[in-house]
Structure formats: structure tokens, C-alpha cells
Structure 1
């Protein structure tokens, strides 16, 4: 599996939001949904603000494969559950998005259950 380029990580870190989608059983892509993302030590993370009940999260969690789109760029990706850096991910969300209620929601106990590492698939 290839990793993100430094330029991609910089763009992803700077982008206010991105869109994600999971893969259906037939190989087609689900509908893209806007999410907040953070980059922590060179790793891209996303969470579902609605926790495990979020529809986009349920779609992604079926196959842990999908697609991301940000700033007009798109990549197929894999999603991996990864709560190993939840404290750092929380801090990154607060640093990027402020201390308001949306940030408190994305750092809630329910949202933390959905922390996903996002890795690109294939060549650039």
C-alpha cells in the first residue's frame, strides 16, 4: 500500500472538509458525504460525528474500502479502525476547528468509537 505524498497530506490538513464514501458489495461507490478530517503525525483520520450510527460510517464499515474527495482531488482508500491516537486526534480536531459544540461532538465518546485511519490505495 502506498502512502500519501507530503503535498497531499498538506492539502488534506489545510482543507476545511472532505468527502468520503464506502464501497458497496457490487463494487460501486456509496454517496459521498462531507466529513471533517485531521492529520496527526503524517496519518489522516476521520470520525463520524454521529458515532457508529452515522450512515456514512455504517457504509464504510461494511468493507473498509472506499473513496475520498477533497479540493477537486479524489483517491480510492482503505479505512482502518484506529483508536490508538485518540488523544492526539482530539487535540488536532480542537486545534483545527476550535472549541465549539461541533468539535465537542466529534471528540465525544461515541465519535471516538469511529476513529478511522484513511490510507490511499494504488498509484498516484
Structure 2
């Protein structure tokens, strides 16, 4: 199930995404973690600032599911690791959205790039 255009626009315009991958029991949501998000090619992406060592990233890749809250929306979601050429467009989206931030350079560097995740809504 894809994001609606309205949902993607709302999430793209905000800076308040909190991600909660499921814990190892596959049922309990983890502690919400504030994280940067971007929209590229009509999809929602996040990256781990600390790369693949980010706790939320490891849980998201292991469990492949959880919840996000952003722009007044709360959605159960699926997580999928992303590699390949789409990362260049994701980098551009980070540059556009977070140009003024001193944290931009690490978010488009190899460590964070290796921890890129696509977030898709699950059907309710």
C-alpha cells in the first residue's frame, strides 16, 4: 500500500518524524526515536546517523515492521533496507530539506548512506 500524495507532502514538509521499530518479541513497539526523513521518487526514506550501528536501524532491519509518527499522522509501517542508485536522489532530498544543518554532511556520507531505509505504510 503506497503513501497518499497528501501524506507524503505532509511528512516531507515536517521535521518531526519519530520511528518505533518493533522489539525482538515482534509485538512491542520500541521507544520512539526522532529522525530526519525525506521523500524521493515518491517514497519515504530515513537514514541512521550512526550508520548500521544505530539501534533503531538494527531493530528495523531485523523486525521489518513498526510505527512512525509524523505530521500528525501515526502509521504502522514496514521497513526495507535500500541500496543502489536511488541513494543519489535521497542525498539530493537531504540536501534540499536540511541545507542549513551542520548535520547534513554526515547524513549524506557513506556511514549513514549504508543505513538507508524505505518506509511503507501497512494496511490497517
Which 4+ residue blocks in structure 1 deviate beyond 2 angstroms? Answer: none
Counterpart position of 1:37: 37
Counterpart position of 2:52: 52
Give 3-state SS (helix, strand or coil) of 2:2's partner. coil
Unaligned runs of 5+ in 2: none
State the alpha-carbon separation in 1 of the partners of residues 51 and 100 from structure 2: 19
Q: Is the 8 A contact 2:24 2:59 kept in 1?
A: no
What's the offset of the Cα at 1:99? 5.4
State the alpha-carbon separation in 1 of the partners of residues 11 and 71 from structure 2: 9
Q: Is the 8 A contact 2:17 2:35 kept in 1?
A: yes
What's the offset of the Cα at 1:25? 3.1
TM-score of the pair, normalised by structure 2: 0.92
Counterpart position of 2:110: 109
Counterpart position of 1:13: 12
Does residue 88 in structure 1 map to residue 94 in structure 2?
no
Q: Is the 8 A contact 2:49 2:107 kept in 1?
A: yes
What's the offset of the Cα at 1:61? 1.9
TM-score of the pair, normalised by structure 1: 0.92
58-67 or 108-117: bigger deviation:
58-67
Task: Encode CA deviations 1:89-113: one digit per residue, 9 max, x unaligned.
Answer: 0011011000543111111101011
Does residue 77 in structure 1 map to residue 77 in structure 2?
yes
Does residue 98 in structure 1 map to residue 110 in structure 2?
no
Q: Is the 8 A contact 2:23 2:30 kept in 1?
A: yes
